[in-house]
Amino acid sequence: MSELRFTVEHEWLRQDADGLVTVGITAYAQDALGDVVFVQLPELQTYAQGDEVAVLESVKAASNITMPLDGEVVETNAALEGAPEQVNADPLGQGWFFRFRPADASALDGLLDQAAYERLLNANADA
């Protein structure tokens, strides 16, 4: 498994051996969101960075998941439709949302690495 990258919106990205990138939300994000009761997954299509591609609903509120980079979504985690609680139980594993083919694979390097993401979390905690 290659190292994870992160966005400021608390998504994680993992580049897999086949060149596709898997996306989910971090442990911090699922905790902030609370119990997830519904997940609306992306369509299998091309999206631009920042597009709203998925929706997570907790008991109280809905949150948008945005496309972390330009690319084409090629697979979604359909298991979440029947078991949205996986997002809380295993955010970095079974709780993944979708896989996409990035328009520019090197763009991943521009995202936060683990250390930078942890600094972001610490800064939030101090704020």
Site for other proteins, rule CB under 8 A: 34-35, 37-38, 40, 55, 57-62, 81
Q: Are 98 and 76 in contact (CB under 8 A)?
A: yes
Distance CA 51, CA 127 (A): 28
104: Cβ contacts below 8 Å, ≥ 6 apart: 69, 70
Residue (59 or 116) nearer to other proteins, CB: 59
Nearer to other proteins, 22 or 58 (CB): 58
d(CA 55, CA 121): 22
Minimum Å distance from CB 43 to other proteins?
12
Q: Which two tokens stand for residue 94?
A: 């079974």
Q: Half-sphere exposure of 27 toward its Cβ, with a 13 Å CA cutoff?
A: 8
Instruction: Give whichever of 15 and 58 is closer to other proteins, judged by the CB atom.
Output: 58
Shortest separation between residue 33's beta carbon and other proteins, angstroms: 10
Distance in Å, CB of 60 to other proteins, minimum: 5
**Minimum separation from the CB atom of position 108 to other proteins (A):** 29
Whose Cβ is closer to other proteins: residue 40's or residue 46's?
Answer: 40
